[in-house]
Amino acid sequence: MIYDHLKNAQLYFSLGGRIEKALKYLSETNFTNVEPGKYEIEGDNIFALVQAYDTKPLSSGRWEAHKNYIDIQYIILGKEKIGFTESSKVIIIEEYDESTDYAIYKGDGNFLYADEGHFVILFPTDIHMPGIAINIPRPVKKVVVKVKTDTAADNLPDKDNDIQAVEEKEQPLTEDTQQTLG
């Protein structure tokens, strides 16, 4: 995950041609009068979703992750909290759907305050919760640029991994582990 002001976008061009193209699109486009909707930049490889909404309470938030796309979330107007966490702190509640490139989780994490003019790059392994209100719900206008990755994130948690992790945590102490711990 990367969080920075758009004026520093050039620092991240080395992450790849698609990310460079996406960041240049954000830097060179005046989104003030752009209506919400989907805008193609490079076909399915790079496209922008312009969104306008009211932020929501934390209790309404959902942890999400993608496998095939990197999110570059850019705040045009307003501000919101964006949660981020690692796979060891969540369990899956909705399996990954390849048609939407989306899986839903529940668990714990941390939050950053995303202000106007700032962007967050969320890689497929970055489980995140966008759109969270800071104190009270307020309007936000945001662009999410979806950047196709060349490698899918196969290490996102799924129900089989969750069950295995719970089973490993619940293993009784054996004589060998007691000696190791003692």
CATH of the domain at 15: 2.60.120.370
pLDDT in tens, 104-129: 999 999 999 999 999 999 999 899 99
pTM of the shown model = 0.83
Query: Tokens 């309007």 correspond to what residue?
Result: 139
Query: Pick from 98, 97, 108, 92: which is nearest to 156 by CA?
Result: 92
Spacing of C-alpha 1 from chain mean position: 8
Specify the amino acid at residue 124. P
Q: Is 60 helix (H, G, I), strand (E, B) or coil?
A: helix
**Total domains present in the chain:** 1
User: C-alpha angle with apex 90: 162 to 49, nearest 5 degrees?
Assistant: 120
Terminal-residue alpha carbon distance, the chain: 39
* Residue ranges of the chain whose pLDDT lies below 50: 162-174, 176-182
pLDDT in tens, 73-93: 999 999 999 999 999 999 999
* pLDDT score for 172: 46
Q: What range defines the domain where residue 14 resides?
A: 2-181
Q: Is 81 helix (H, G, I), strand (E, B) or coil?
A: strand
